[in-house]
């Protein structure tokens, strides 16, 4: 008899976050040095963003299972707002990491709206309509990957610690 155990939504999102940060890291450490195309840095940033948002979603769905956060829409803005309002303080999540998530989101949005973008000195430059420039560099992406790994691990630790507390309380009941 085959028993199928459905994976919880938060577990799915946690796994997606891990895969996306691994993809970003691989692109940065293996692919980029071979092709040396600064446009690849944008793809690295998008994978970092997906890793971060899936990690946030994982924590939110976990907390939602226990009714510790209100219902939220399946949009970045909704999830990010609930995350900032309910989870950051409750779990003592680093404010700098929260700022980084917002910063990466802003850069990606700026890229989507950008009328002009180009490469210069191993960097990818995004210009806004009023020609404010945002530069994506190899060093910045390395920093983002490193900080994102820590952020994702911290979220996973929060979930794992809470699961252990719950499992111990159920056994003692």
Per-residue pLDDT of the chain (173 residues), as tens digits, is 444 445 689 999 999 999 999 999 999 999 999 999 999 999 999 999 999 999 999 999 999 988 999 999 999 999 999 999 999 999 999 999 999 999 999 999 999 999 999 999 889 999 988 888 999 999 999 999 999 999 999 999 999 987 766 555 555 55
Sequence-ordered alpha helix ranges (H) in the chain: 9-26, 32-35, 39-65, 76-82, 88-90, 95-113, 138-172
For residue 85, the 8-state DSSP code is: I
**Can you give the pLDDT at residue 72?**
94
Q: Is 51 exposed, middle or buried (0-12, 13-18, 19+ CB in 10 A)?
A: buried
Decide if domain 9-68+75-156 falls under CATH 1.20.120.330: yes
Rounded to 10 degrees, the C-alpha dihedral 33/39/43/44 comes to: 40
d(CA 25, CA 104): 16
CA quadruple 5, 79, 84, 125: dihedral sign: positive
**Can you give the pLDDT at residue 143?**
97
The 3-state DSSP class for residue 119 equals strand
DSSP letter for each residue of 100-117: HHHHHHHHHHHHHH-SEE
**Can you give the pLDDT at residue 8?**
87
For the chain, give every domain's residue range. 9-68+75-156
CB of 155 closer than 8 Å to CB of 90: no
**Can you give the pLDDT at residue 4?**
40
């Amino acid at each position: 008899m085959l028993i199928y155990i459905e994976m919880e939504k938060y577990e799915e999102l946690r796994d997606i976050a891990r895969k996306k940060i691994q993809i970003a890291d691989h692109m940065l450490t293996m692919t980029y040095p071979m092709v040396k195309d600064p446009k690849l840095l944008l793809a690295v940033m998008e994978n970092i963003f997906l890793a971060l948002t899936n990690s946030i979603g994982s924590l939110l769905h976990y907390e939602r299972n226990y009714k510790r956060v209100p219902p939220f829409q399946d949009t970045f803005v909704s999830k990010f707002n609930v995350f900032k309002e309910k989870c950051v303080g409750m779990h003592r999540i680093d404010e700098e990491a929260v700022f980084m998530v917002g910063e990466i989101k802003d850069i990606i949005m700026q890229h989507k709206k950008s009328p002009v973008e180009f490469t210069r000195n191993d960097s990818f430059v995004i210009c806004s309509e009023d020609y404010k420039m945002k530069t994506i560099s190899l060093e910045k992406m390395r920093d983002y990957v490193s900080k994102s790994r820590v952020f994702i691990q911290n979220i996973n630790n929060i979930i794992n610690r809470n699961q252990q507390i719950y499992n111990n309380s159920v056994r003692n009941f």
